[in-house]
Amino acid sequence: MDIKVNIDGVLREVCGINEGTTCEEVIFKLAQIASLPGFYTLVASCRDKEITLSPEERIINFIKETKENPSNICFILRRLEAVSPFSPKIPKAYPPVPNHQPTSRPHQQPSRSSSRRSNVPVTSENKELCSSTSSSLPIPAQHCVSSTKQSRIYRCDPSCELIHSSLVTSAAGEEKSYHDVDQYNQLKDQLAYQEQQVELNRIRLLRLDKEINHLEQSARFGGNNNNSDSNNNNKDGYSTLDLLSGSAVGPVAELAQLAATPWSQLLDTNRARQRELLSECERHKIAIDQVDTHLAKTKMNLSQLENQINQELNRLLNELEGYNQHRRLLLKSAGSGSSQPRPSDGVAV
């Protein structure tokens, strides 16, 4: 059997309705196809009357009870404004059964635009609630009254407020843990940068040590040659002007040029340079010691932060487990209050 279902002004035809097809199965299938979240109920429109079907009611039996032609009955998939917290029904996933599971396809008939009349008078509160719905279909006053009562019950239920407060607390804890992880990543990057700076300072120290050794060797060589300056001065007939101008040729002239070099001045210059390099080396060593001290402190802070993060994560997991247990107890106690589902509860999708 095929039935017509109106979904937000779009008329769809559901095929494969058999004796065992319930209202809940039809709602669940239509919500899956149309990707509609929330709570829905199926309303039968016949002879300017609207009847809300319960989730467990069978479609074939309802049509037989009304004694109407199935083509004259239009079903409306209507979303509930508020959800009853005492509904014990849990949404079930029905596996696809060939030739028996109802399927839907769009129908080419125009949507009904004529408003339905109801025997219940429409109050100002019902008008305000009905105007806030997003569906293009008219909503009866009886449904508006029931939705208003359900919304009041939902707002005044302390168990729902407790669950909401627990979820807010867990969200705040998660934001705090994210902040701690971000701080941990920043400290890690800072530690890597400081390690790079330490390595660069070590390379500079090695270069300075090399330069100091080279200057010491040059100073030692210059001190040995400085003692023979007076003995070799103007030897072999070369004048000082010739030696300095470079006009003299030969090994003797080269030795004379070496003897005429002011080694004492070079030695003083190199020693001054050596003292500057040593002072710079001391300054870099002090900076390296400071960096090592700061690095040790950073590592200590990093270990403490890791411990705090682990403790916070364990605490959040324990709190979440406790909230889940408390929520299950609340749902169990709420489910035991009403054993039979009501048509106004709808089906959770």
CATH number reported for the structural domain that contains residue 275 in this entry: 1.10.287
pLDDT digits (tens, 9 = 90+) for 272-306: 999 999 999 999 999 999 999 999 999 999 999 99
132: left (phi over 0), alpha (psi -120 to 50) or beta: alpha
Beta bridge mates, 5:
12, 75
% of the chain surpassing 70 pLDDT: 60
Say what the pLDDT of residue 322 is: 94
127 and 185 share a domain? no
150 and 177 share a domain? no
Q: What is the mean pLDDT of residues 319-327?
A: 94
Q: What is the mean pLDDT of residues 91-115?
A: 42
Q: What is the DSSP string of 287-333?
A: HHHHHHHHHHHHHHHHHHHHHHHHHHHHHHHHHHHHHHHHHHHHHHH
39 and 70 share a domain? yes
Say what the pLDDT of residue 311 is: 96
**Distances from the Cα of 279 to the Cα of 162, 288, 346, angstroms:** 69, 14, 85
Residue 52 confidence (pLDDT) above 50: yes
171 and 292 share a domain? yes
CA dist 47 and 68 (Å) reads: 10
% of the chain surpassing 90 pLDDT: 19
| Residue 186, domain extent | 162-220+267-337
Say what the pLDDT of residue 112 is: 39
> Would 87 be classed as within a structural domain?
yes
> Would 138 be classed as within a structural domain?
no
> Would 344 be classed as within a structural domain?
no
CA dist 31 and 34 (Å) reads: 5
The H or E element containing residue 174 is helix 158-226
Instruction: Give the number of other Cβ atoms within 10 Å of residue 274's Cβ.
Output: 16
> Would 301 be classed as within a structural domain?
yes
Would you place residue 212 in the very low, low, confident or very high pLDDT band (cuts 50, 70, 90)?
A: confident
202 and 128 share a domain? no
Say what the pLDDT of residue 276 is: 94
Q: What is the mean pLDDT of residues 309-333?
A: 93
124 and 166 share a domain? no
20 and 63 share a domain? yes
> Would 8 be classed as within a structural domain?
yes
Q: What is the pTM of this model?
A: 0.27
> Would 114 be classed as within a structural domain?
no
Residue 63 confidence (pLDDT) above 90: no
> Would 69 be classed as within a structural domain?
yes
Q: Give the residue, 242 or 169, on which the prediction is more confident.
A: 169
Question: Smallest Cα–Cα separation from 103: which of 187, 198, 21?
Answer: 21
Per residue, the 3-state secondary structure of 98-160, as one string, reads CCCCCEEEECCCCCCCCCCCCCCCCCHHHHHHHHCCCCCCCCCHHHHHHHHHHHHHHHHCHHH
126 and 177 share a domain? no
Residue 151 corresponds to which amino acid? Answer: S
150 and 182 share a domain? no
Residue 128 confidence (pLDDT) above 80: no
Pairing of strands 74-79, 39-46: antiparallel
316 and 170 share a domain? yes
Would you place residue 340 in the very low, low, confident or very high pLDDT band (cuts 50, 70, 90)?
A: low
176 and 293 share a domain? yes
Q: What is the mean pLDDT of residues 103-131?
A: 40
7 and 69 share a domain? yes
Most confident of 76-80, 82-86, 126-130, 201-205: 201-205
| Count of domains observed in the chain | 2
Which domain CATH number covers 13?
A: 3.10.20.90
> Would 106 be classed as within a structural domain?
no
Question: Smallest Cα–Cα separation from 76: which of 15, 141, 14, 131?
Answer: 14
pLDDT digits (tens, 9 = 90+) for 159-206: 444 444 555 555 666 666 777 888 888 898 889 999 988 989 989 888
Would you place residue 157 in the very low, low, confident or very high pLDDT band (cuts 50, 70, 90)?
A: very low
